Structure 1
C-alpha cells in the first residue's frame, strides 16, 4: 500500500512538473509569435488608428468647406449672370 502511495505521489509530481514545463513552453511560443507578428506589422509600415481617425476627420471638415465654397461660388456666378 505504501509503495502504491509513493508511486502515485511520484506520478503526481511528474505530472505537475510536466504541466509547468508545458505552460512555460506555451508562454515562450506565445511570446515568439507575438514578437514576429509585431515585427511583421512594423515592416508593413501601416498607419496607426489614431492617425487614420485624425486624417479622416480633417478630410471630412475640408470636404464640408469645399462644398460651402462651391455653393458660394455658384451664388456669385449666379449674381454676375443676372447683372449681365
Structure 2
C-alpha cells in the first residue's frame, strides 16, 4: 500500500513539475510573440493613436476654415452681382 502511495506521489509531483514547465514556456512564447509583433509594427512605420488624433484635429480645423472662407467668397460674389 505504501508503494502505491509513493507511485501516486511521484506521479503527482511529475505532473506538477510538467505544468510549471508548460506555464513557463507559455510565458516565454507570449513574450517572444509580443516582441515580434512590436518589431513588425515598428518596421511598418505606423503612426500612434495620439499622432493620428492630432492630424485628424488639424484636418478638421482646416476644413472648418475652408468652409468659412468659401462662405465669405460666396457672400462677396453675391454682393458684386
TM-score when normalising by structure 1:
0.92
Distance apart, 1:2 and its partner CA: 0.2
Aligned to 2:34: 34
Distance apart, 1:8 and its partner CA: 0.3
**Where does the alignment leave 5 or more consecutive residues of structure 1 unmatched?**
none
TM-score when normalising by structure 2:
0.95
User: Over aligned residues, Cα RMSD in angstroms?
Assistant: 0.8
* Matched pairs, number: 81
Question: After the TM superposition, which segments of 4 or more aligned residues of structure 1 sit over 6 Å from their partners?
Answer: none
d(CA) in 2 for partners of 1:62 and 1:79?
Answer: 26
Whether 2:71 is the aligned partner of 1:71: answer yes
Structure label with greater radius of gyration: 1
